[in-house]
Structure 1
Amino acid sequence: MAVHCRKAELNDVEELYQLIQSYAEQGIMLPRSREMLIAQLADFVVAEDEGSMVGCGSLCRLGQDLVEIRSLGINHSHQGKGIGSRIVEVLEAEARRQGIPKLMALTYEVKFFERNGFKVVDKEIFPEKVWKDCINCKKQHCCDEIAVLKKLN
């Protein structure tokens, strides 16, 4: 399988929406409207296999020294093939390019992130995240996601 990662384009919006929505319906990812995806398109990377989108992920700047991996999802038929790790590599390279020293995520897939060099941390160390996104989340007072952090040196 020759998976290729690239910056998202306007014609990717519907597939991005459908992939993210499939995770959101399971309660494991925040939903994103098509309008929100268009507005944040420059932050997204997509993975393609033979011309079909099989995964996505994005970066969200939370402060001068912190960026979050968000909306990381892989088409169910392509899970377990290293595509998520490849997307994380591309997003990490972009964070490095921007000179951002810390990369974080909130996740249910702790082992995946640990395999990619992240460490579990207390989510309260990220007030930037709490005030940007968590304040609008229906799980705000009962969040069961785990915070992970990777320092980029």
Structure 2
Amino acid sequence: MAVTCRRAAEQDVEALYTLIKGYAEKGIMLYRTRETLRAIIDTFVIAEADGKLIGCGSLSKLGKDLVEIRSLGMTEGYKGQGIGSLIVGMLVEEAKKQGIPTIMALTYEVKFFEKNGFEVVPKEIFPEKVWRDCIHCKKQHCCDEIAVQRRL
């Protein structure tokens, strides 16, 4: 199976919506509407196999020195094959191009991120994230995600 990673485009919105919705319904990822996805499509990277979207991730700017990896997910049956690492690698390269020195994520998959050069850090060091997104999250007072960061 040949897997390719590329920047997402308008024609990927429906497949992105479906993948993210599945994770959101499990409480693992924030829900995104189709309209929101269209508005931020240029922040997404997707992985494809046989012309089918099998994974995604996005890079969201939180400040001049900080970006967040968001909406990182894989279609069932494709996990554990290194595809997530390909997506993260492409997002890291994008952060480098933008001259942003720190990448963070909130995750339940700490080992995956550690394997990709991230380290666990306290969530509180990212007030940009807390005031932008966490304040609107239903888990804001009982968040069980782990913060990770990678300095470039």
Normalising TM by the smaller chain, what interval?
over 0.9
Aligned to 1:34: 34
Aligned partner of residue 103 in structure 1, secondary structure: strand
Aligned to 2:137: 137
Task: Determine the C-alpha separation between the residues in 2 that align with 1:76 and 1:97.
Answer: 31
Aligned to 2:109: 109
User: Quick one: percent identity of the two aligned structures?
Assistant: 66
Aligned to 1:65: 65
Task: Determine the C-alpha separation between the residues in 2 that align with 1:5 and 1:106.
Answer: 22
TM-score, normalisation: structure 1: 0.98
Deviations 1:29-75 (CA, angstroms, capped at 9, x unpaired):
00000000000000001100111100000000000100000000000
Aligned to 1:127: 127
**Structure 1: any 5+ residue segments left out of the alignment?**
none
Q: How far did 1:77 drift?
A: 1.3
Aligned to 2:7: 7
Aligned to 2:94: 94
Aligned to 1:22: 22
Aligned to 2:146: 146
Task: Determine the C-alpha separation between the residues in 2 that align with 1:14 and 1:51.
Answer: 14
Q: How far did 1:93 drift?
A: 0.2
Q: How far did 1:15 drift?
A: 0.3
Which residue type is aligned with residue 39 of structure 2? A
Task: Determine the C-alpha separation between the residues in 2 that align with 1:2 and 1:66.
Answer: 32
Which residue type is aligned with residue 140 of structure 1? Q
Task: Determine the C-alpha separation between the residues in 2 that align with 1:75 and 1:135.
Answer: 29
Q: Are 1:82 and 2:93 matched, yes or no?
A: no
Task: Determine the C-alpha separation between the residues in 1 that align with 2:9 and 2:110.
Answer: 29
Task: Determine the C-alpha separation between the residues in 1 that align with 2:2 and 2:128.
Answer: 37
Aligned partner of residue 76 in structure 1, secondary structure: coil
**Structure 2: any 5+ residue segments left out of the alignment?**
none
Which residue type is aligned with residue 73 of structure 2? G
Task: Determine the C-alpha separation between the residues in 1 that align with 2:45 and 2:86.
Answer: 10
